[in-house]
Amino acid sequence: MMAKSFFMSLVASPEVNPLNQKAKSIPILNPFDRYGRVFFFSWFGFIVAFLSWYAFPPLLSVTIKKDLNLSQDDVANSNIVALLATLLVRFISGPLCDRFGPRYVFVGLLLSGAIPTAMAGLVTNSNGLIALRFFVGILGATFVPCQVWTTGFFDKNVIGTANALVAGWGNAGGGITYFVMPAIYDSLVHSRGLTPHQAWRVSYVVPFIIISAVAVGMLLTCDDTPTGKWSERHLWAETRFNSVQFLPGMSPDALSTTPPSPEQPKSEKKLPDFPESGTQMDSEAVQVGLGEIVVAPTIKEATRVVFSLATLALAALYACSFGTELAVNSILGAYYLFNFPQLGQTQSGRWAAMFGLLNAVFRPMGGIIADVIYRNTKSIWAKKLWLSFLMLGAGCFLLAIGVSDPKSQATMYGLVAGLAFFIAASNGANFAIVPHVHPFSNGTVSGFVGAFGNLGGIIFSIIFRYGGVQYHRSIWIIGVICICVSLSVSWIRPIPRGQIGGV
């Protein structure tokens, strides 16, 4: 009976919270439902972004490196530049999501990154590769609208699961790419008769076509918010609560309890039943509901949000967790090839792909367990403790790999799989907390925290760059950093005191 109920929740239209119109379950297997459709395009849009964003490392260690006569430093520099572009665009895309809505930002980023992907065939030297990877790096910023979009459609009881699923399945694109790009390349060489010089360039036309098609589908078939257009979200709230005048740009700290004026616009669509007001509980519920309405950011408000301790703590932890994932993903194939040269480029790339593919399971586990903890404790501190435990575990596995530098394939793969669990689950647990922090400015918070993930990736990639082929030494250094950062921010409150809508 429980199994049947669980399966039905995956396909049935979800129950909706009347306060905010957010779904209380995730119709994962029902893309015909408006909530299921947004869920589908959130993770699928992110996964196809990876097809281009991470399309270079699988072919870079041998084929592209040889064709363009690249040095080890050139390869490392191109990895760093790709992360730098994502860092910058994530900072910008967060506030853009708050102003224009995540759907339009998502579509814009996909198309902006798809165009330079199709231009890979024009690259002839290291400088051209670095410039190209900078613009392709725009695709990495799709993570921000991906998370903001699901946060806007799914309620607090399942938001950790929703965010972790779309990000985890999307991040698995990093692993899938290690299979897809070499397969496309090998097919062009062996079945189509192209030379290696031609084949790797033609390979990048495939992700361009896929990304463009997904962006168009997202634009034509999905909604901005559960209540309709992004520009009308405030009008819906004013009519819905009928007791609070809430205008675009107004901070939740300035919420007024006076009724709206007679000339205030009314929504014409039929709204669901709402409990009678008048009790203290109803008043608190209304305040929470209004606190979740995203407002157009001002520079002053955005500055206050990003420099709050709660935001900075999550950003620092994400810099360590996702930063480690990015940096390790970019060198893992080369590390395997260095320690086990008998594998060759294709086999080492396939084994390296497993690190990214495990995101499909492990990142959702981090968010799902965070939701279970929250439903049973009603405590965001409990979510924070879960996140801290995962980060410390990740640091320990990094130390184990770095200190031992395994020469046995079984030992190496086992330790990397353990690291993948703690790293990916940490990412999922982090963005199970993000929606609670300044929910009226969720895009700004998500963009800032997400950008710090890339900042961590850049810092750790620089460590790998100067570590050369001594990959194990760089890995244990990163492990020490992760443990120190995790302990240093463990005391910070997970949400600001008195935050409206943050519970």
- Ordered by start, the domain boundaries in the chain are 30-228+301-488
Q: How far apart are CA 368 and CA 373, in angstroms?
A: 9
Tens digits of residue pLDDT in 212-224: 999 999 999 999 9
Q: How far apart are CA 388 and CA 380, in angstroms?
A: 13
Burial code (b: 16+ CB inside 10 Å, e: under 16) for 232-257 equals ebbbbbbbbbebbbbeeebebeebee
The lowest-confidence range among 159-173, 277-291, 387-401, 407-421 is 277-291
Q: What is the mean pLDDT of residues 189-209?
A: 92
- Per-residue confidence (pLDDT) for residue 328, from 0 to 100: 92
- Per-residue confidence (pLDDT) for residue 299, from 0 to 100: 83
- Using CB atoms within 10 Å of the CB of residue 191, give its burial: 0 to 12 exposed, 13 to 18 middle, 19+ buried: exposed
**Three-class DSSP category at 461:** helix
Cβ atoms of residues 153 and 228 within 8 Å: no
Q: How far apart are CA 48 and CA 340, in angstroms?
A: 30
Percent of the chain with pLDDT over 90: 55
- Using CB atoms within 10 Å of the CB of residue 61, give its burial: 0 to 12 exposed, 13 to 18 middle, 19+ buried: buried
- Rg of the Cα atoms in the chain: 23
The lowest-confidence range among 11-20, 99-108, 228-237, 308-317 is 228-237
- Per-residue confidence (pLDDT) for residue 45, from 0 to 100: 95
pLDDT band at 289 (very low <50, low <70, confident <90, very high): low
Residues 6+ apart with CB under 8 A from 3: none
- Per-residue confidence (pLDDT) for residue 113, from 0 to 100: 94
DSSP string, 189-257: HHTS---HHHHHHHHTHHHHHHHHHHHHHHHHH--SBTTB-GGGHHHHHHHHHSS----TT--GGG---
- Using CB atoms within 10 Å of the CB of residue 338, give its burial: 0 to 12 exposed, 13 to 18 middle, 19+ buried: middle
97 beta partners:
none
Which CATH superfamily does the domain covering 30-228+301-488 fall into? MFS general substrate transporter like domains (1.20.1250.20)
Q: Which DSSP state fits 16?
A: B
- Per-residue confidence (pLDDT) for residue 29, from 0 to 100: 87
Tens digits of residue pLDDT in 427-441: 999 999 999 898 888
CA distance between the termini of the chain:
32
Tens digits of residue pLDDT in 15-64: 888 878 899 999 998 989 999 999 999 999 999 998 888 888 778 878 89
pLDDT band at 294 (very low <50, low <70, confident <90, very high): confident
Q: How far apart are CA 340 and CA 102, in angstroms?
A: 44
Dihedral in degrees, nearest 10, Cα atoms 64, 68, 73, 74: -90
Tens digits of residue pLDDT in 106-139: 999 999 999 999 998 899 999 999 999 999 999 9
Q: How many degrees, rounded to 5, is the angle at CA 248 between CA 246 and CA 252?
A: 55
Q: What is the mean pLDDT of residues 310-323?
A: 96
- Per-residue confidence (pLDDT) for residue 238, from 0 to 100: 66
Q: What is the mean pLDDT of residues 394-423?
A: 96
Residues 6+ apart with CB under 8 A from 236: 227, 228, 267, 271
- Per-residue confidence (pLDDT) for residue 243, from 0 to 100: 44
Tens digits of residue pLDDT in 206-262: 999 999 999 999 999 999 999 888 888 777 666 665 544 444 344 444 443 333 333
Tens digits of residue pLDDT in 444-495: 999 999 999 989 988 998 899 888 889 999 999 999 999 999 999 999 998 8
Average per-residue pLDDT for the chain: 85
pLDDT band at 302 (very low <50, low <70, confident <90, very high): confident
Q: How far apart are CA 421 and CA 410, in angstroms?
A: 17
How many C-beta atoms lie closer than 10 Å to residue 229's C-beta?
Answer: 12
Residues 6+ apart with CB under 8 A from 91: 447, 448, 451
State CA 368 to chain mean position distance. 16
- Using CB atoms within 10 Å of the CB of residue 180, give its burial: 0 to 12 exposed, 13 to 18 middle, 19+ buried: buried
Q: Please indicate whether residue 275 or residue 419 has the higher confidence score (pLDDT).
A: 419
**Token digits of residue 40:** 């589908």
Q: What is the mean pLDDT of residues 366-394?
A: 94
- Per-residue confidence (pLDDT) for residue 152, from 0 to 100: 92
**Token digits of residue 233:** 């979200």
**In three state form, how does the secondary structure of 389-449 look?**
HHHHHHHHHHHHHHHHCCCCHHHHHHHHHHHHHHHHHHHHHHHHHHHHCCHHHHHHHHHHH
